[in-house]
């Protein structure tokens, strides 16, 4: 059974952190409806969805991806880079503790889960405004016994590494080459985002399908032309908070 841990949208969602886009008003009611559609998509693809209660005082907390990342052996509890987001880990710890042993990132390291791309035994961490080199060093030490190698990745013009590149399957990545150098990922087949859709590199593979936003039809054509089955969701309101499809769940296989 694949478990998807999610969290309801905070009523203070309009107070979310914004880094690389212009702030525009968010309709929280619409955001809730879109989030429900996302949860329905996960369930239809066979996930057991665990939906945590909304955090009234944590505006960004719907983006549970940033609080942890999941490996077959352990779950790593992150230390988010924005101070307003650090308390989000408090309810993620009990939610994950029954699924995996936990490893904790500690000060002075900071890392958002959105900056973490796991590709086999290689873990790539985007050196963004939220994640720092101390996290790379700390995680190399903590995960070495499990055979993982952690790499820092330089990136530009976007919030997280997984804004610029995500895993489609074990052999294929979806990438915006203007925001991250593809030479970090040798040996992978690369599908480039359409030039008109720079934010289109974030997808969420679940079993034999890919959860993908409705807002990037040209890049979706590229994916489908390679034989990938796309399940669309509308997350346009959550995108106003720099959210995307990987951001709203923690997937435990």
Phi, psi of 169 (to 5 degrees): -155, -170
Q: Which is the catalytic residue, given 16, 47, 203, 247?
A: 247
Does the active-site annotation cover 247? yes
Could you write out the three-class secondary structure of 188-252?
Answer: CEEEECCCCCCCCCCCEEECCEEEEECCCHHHHHHHHHCCCEEEEECCHHHHCCCCCCCCCCEEE
What's the pLDDT score for residue 24?
96
Q: Going residue by residue through the chain (253 aa), what tens digit of pLDDT does each one get? A: 999 999 999 999 999 999 989 999 999 999 999 999 999 999 999 999 999 999 999 999 999 999 999 999 999 999 999 999 999 999 999 999 999 999 999 999 999 999 999 999 999 999 999 999 999 999 999 999 999 999 999 999 999 999 999 999 999 999 999 999 999 999 999 999 999 999 999 999 999 999 999 999 999 999 999 999 999 999 999 999 999 999 999 999 9
Sheet containing strand 172-175, edge to edge, reads 165-169, 172-175, 189-192
What's the pLDDT score for residue 225?
97
What's the pLDDT score for residue 71?
98
Q: Specify the residue for token string 């979310």.
A: 16
Q: Domain ranges in the chain?
A: 2-252
What's the pLDDT score for residue 221?
98
CB 148 within 8 A of CB 121: yes
**Cα angle 56-24-175, degrees, rounded to a multiple of 5:** 95
Number of H helices, E strands in the chain: 6, 15
How many angstroms from the chain centroid is the CA of residue 174? 14
The fold of the 2-252 domain, in CATH, is 3.75.10
Q: Which is the catalytic residue, given 16, 160, 203, 248?
A: 160
Nearest to 243, CA basis, from 48, 31, 12:
31
CB 52 within 8 A of CB 3: no
Specify the pTM: 0.97
Q: Which tokens sit at 86?
A: 């650090």
Condensed to tens digits (0 to 9), the pLDDT of residues 3-13 reads 999 999 999 99
What's the pLDDT score for residue 66?
98
Q: How far apart are CA 37 and CA 40, in angstroms?
A: 5
Does the active-site annotation cover 160? yes
What's the pLDDT score for residue 202?
98
Burial readout 51-83 (b: 16 or more C-beta within 10 A, e: otherwise): ebebbeebbbbbbbbbbbbbbeebbbbbbbbbe
Condensed to tens digits (0 to 9), the pLDDT of residues 130-140 reads 999 999 999 99
What's the pLDDT score for residue 58?
98
3-state secondary structure of 238: helix
């Amino acid at each position: 059974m694949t478990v998807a841990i999610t969290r309801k949208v905070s009523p203070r969602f309009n107070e979310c952190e914004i880094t690389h886009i212009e702030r525009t008003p968010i309709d929280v009611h619409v955001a809730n409806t879109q989030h429900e559609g996302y949860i329905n998509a996960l369930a239809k693809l066979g996930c057991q969805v665990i939906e945590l209660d909304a955090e009234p005082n944590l505006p960004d907390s719907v983006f549970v991806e940033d609080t942890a990342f999941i490996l077959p052996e352990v779950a790593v509890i992150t230390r988010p880079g924005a101070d307003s987001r650090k308390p989000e880990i408090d309810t993620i710890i009990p939610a994950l503790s029954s699924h995996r042993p936990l490893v904790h990132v500690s000060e002075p390291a900071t890392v958002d889960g959105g900056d973490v791309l796991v590709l086999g035994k290689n873990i790539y961490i985007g050196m963004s405004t939220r994640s720092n080199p101390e996290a790379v060093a700390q995680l190399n030490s903590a995960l070495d016994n499990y055979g993982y190698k952690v790499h820092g990745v330089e990136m530009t013009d976007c919030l997280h590494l997984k804004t610029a590149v995500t895993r489609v399957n074990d052999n294929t990545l979806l990438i915006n080459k203007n925001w991250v150098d593809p030479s970090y990922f040798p040996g992978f087949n690369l599908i480039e985002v359409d030039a008109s859709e720079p934010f289109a590199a974030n997808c969420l593979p679940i079993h034999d399908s890919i959860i993908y936003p409705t807002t990037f039809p040209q890049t979706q054509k590229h994916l489908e032309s390679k034989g990938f089955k796309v399940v669309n969701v509308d997350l346009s309101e959550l995108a106003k908070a720099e959210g995307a499809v990987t951001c709203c769940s923690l997937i435990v296989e």
